[in-house]
Structure 1
Amino acid sequence: MDRLPSNCILDKGRTGCGATTLAIRQQGNTIITVPYVNLIKSKESQHGDILLGVYEGTGREEILDYAKCHRTHKIMVTYDSLPKVIDALEGNGYDVRNDYQLVIDEWQVILNSYDFRPDAMQGLLKAAGGFKGVIYMTATPVKRKYMPDEMKHLQRVKIKWQDEQKLRLHSVKTTSPARLAAELCEGRTDEYNLHIFVNSVTMISRIIKYAGLKPEDVRTVCSKNRDSMATNQSKLGNAYMIADITDPVKPYNFYTSTAFEGCDIYDGKGLSVIVNDGHIAHSLLPVDTLFFQIAGRLRDSRYRDYVINIFSPTKNTDDVTYEEYVEASEKAFKEAEEYANRMNGNNDGADLAELYTNRRYVRVQDGRMIADRNMLNCDLMKHELQSVIYGNWRNLIDEIIASGIKIVKTEELNPEKPVKESASRKASFKDAFKRYCELKSARTIFPSAEQILIEKNKPLVKTAYDTLGESKVISLKYKVTDIRRELVKASTVTETEKIIRMVRQSLPYRKAIPRKEITEVLQGIYDTLGIHRTAVATDLAK
């Protein structure tokens, strides 16, 4: 395929297949609309030689300067800023609607965001209707019953791949998603970097706090527009500055919805984690769209097709079933239609915008009131997500399987459950170390609460395990003094510093010590470090 088709809905079949790149590189003028600024920044970093990114802050003059300097126009613009591009170009004689192909990328966001960005979504759909050539494309379309009315007349085209994308999922149910995610952070090893996708800056802040993550190890990508940046930065704290999608990856990377779709993240050892909290409605992500999208963000990772999902079910206190909710909503929509027709017929010149403000499904379009079925579909889709899919674990598992995702493991982990005596401060080093070895041998990606408490209450256990290994500690018969000596011996500090550290471990401070005892301790240290020297008490002064 050397050019995208027009006037259709394209199901790309998989994420990261290069369709957006084709839109940028194909012949002819192209305007590509995307939902988020970070997606534009991601593509600008790859195609800055020919691509103009337009979003909040991009002025009319910048658009026109680009148009004059480039023979073929490749403009990537946020949904909200599309009218700005059209007005700037048409105002200077460019026949945008006939000479440019309009590509609406990641169109599933239209429905996912319709309830809180209605003006942008309505404006996008209306503008698209005026283009001679338009294509809606995504790798993860929403269910047909929820598709916007403005798209339903278009032909649907799907790319068939010989090797289908297989996504493997590790599903973890918990009562405390933020705390469990923090435990995952605490148990991270150098074998992988964590990329945690959670649509709540508040939850990101909690995870960072619970895990005690250092600012230099954290990268958070969330909204930076003028309406939200100050609030988001305040939630994170000034030490954890909001990053761009193009900034270097860190051991711990967090993303809100601004980076869920279309962005390219390069990390050869990146591991994706999706966190959903049943108590936070906007953190619940559609399985059939966003799970695949998120897995596709990591372009070159060896874990690209593996995702961990941490979630808690919703607390559905409403006795209304989904079917009853649909019936009631359809009734409300019909009443909205009747109201709109009545007001259009009887309006005596009053401001229509003031008349419909309390009616959810009614809006003004081209000077007339209409009932907006897209808003109804958005409500139905989100109610199904909250009350049915995330209502219980079985429903979520069924939805995951129906979406073509392979579940490789399911488990329930609750961080607040009591732990065994081996994790207490009173436990002996030997008991704690032996239990720690058992827990580590299980090789689970989630450290258990018991393991984390052992590491917290007995830090020497983890240090000895990581540095010396189980066999060496056993050979030392779990003797803490000998273990500390071996750790000093294995360290990378200078020989003199090693001697000083061992002396501090072996001799009391500010207390008179017989010369013979000093000589014996120093000789033992020399022998341990392999220093061929005869110790004398006066060496201590060095």
Structure 2
Amino acid sequence: GNYPSVYVNGERIYSKECVVFLNSVNNIVNIIKQTELKPEEVNIIVGNSEDNDKQIAKIGAGFTRGRIPLKGETHKTFTFCTSTAYAGCDFYSTNAATFVISDCNRPNTAVDIATELVQIAGRQRLACNPFRKFLTFIYNVNTEEITQDEFNENLENKVNVTLDEIKENNNANKLLKAKRIKDFMRIPERIRYQDSYTMYDEEKDEFVFNRLAYVNEQYCFDVQKFNYQNGVMIKRQLQDSNFDVSENQTYAVYEEQLKHLIKKESFVDRMQAYCEYRSKQGLIVNLAMLTLEGKYPELKYYYDALGGDRIKALNYKEKQLINEMHIVETKDKVRYELRQTIHVGDRLETSVIQSVLQQTYDKFHFTKSAKATDLREFYEMHPVKIPTADGRKNGWEIRGVL
């Protein structure tokens, strides 16, 4: 319900539809799964391939690859679109806002500002849509995981593998060649050219060098490497491509939320991130914290019960947190039981306290040898001497409950 809005002639207009350009079918699938969107809310516009259809089907019943609505047709609330689908397409929504997510850490998901972003910016065609001239560009900057020299070396090795593979496949006997053709056709398109540029040409009935895949890999690396070195460079590229970036830019508002929706995280990662959010303040971390709480309510449960310091001491590990919660719950039972026996104002010998504690521990299967000083966890105590028939004994006066 928190819709973007603009004022047009004094009237506030809300954007109740959005088109999200995200060049990864896998990330689109993860976002829809984790936000629990329904089929009637989502239009998934991606390349026409069996592999894409299989990925989308994994979301659940009712989810299928969609198409761009024609002019006058109803648009769904959320449209997810990859670059395979948006080239040359037009959207005719009366109120859709546009979001572009660019992950430069994966070459094929980095958006080229000078070409792709310019194309995307012109996709909303209706002049009556007051949001058509606004675009929210969400990006990260390059972590420089691979150098230019390393990339060139990998490229050269891949080319050599391709040339050897083509020669070997084409010179294979008829049965073996037929098998290798079948093997190649079974490889999903999204990973087909990860290890080589070998392609099967049906018209020629032979394996050939896919030069388009070769050039595309270099292009993607250049976009990833040189377009996303830092925020200043990106802003300059936006300006050079005639984008008006004079509006206030908000950094990292979406980043913390998106990373929990897109990538698959371990429990330790989620728990550590949640503890960090709880120790900070501000809109950005609160949004991210609520995103995590909504999907993983157990994080709040552990934090409220144990606190950040204790969770950190347990290395954020779920098994250890579960054990700790068991201890906490057992201690709560022990505390309740003790209050039926030991009261404020009582003066008890050390041996009596130890005996009562051990009986209580045993009752709740709390595997611990009792010491009288354990009672400090449940009561305020002060050492005293207790008069007995055998003389004065060490003991404790109960002065308050904790």
Shorter-chain TM band: 0.3 to 0.5
Higher relative contact order (CA 8 A, sep 6+): 1
The structure whose Rg is larger is 2
Give TM-score, length-normalised by structure 1: 0.36
Q: TM-score scaled by structure 2?
A: 0.46
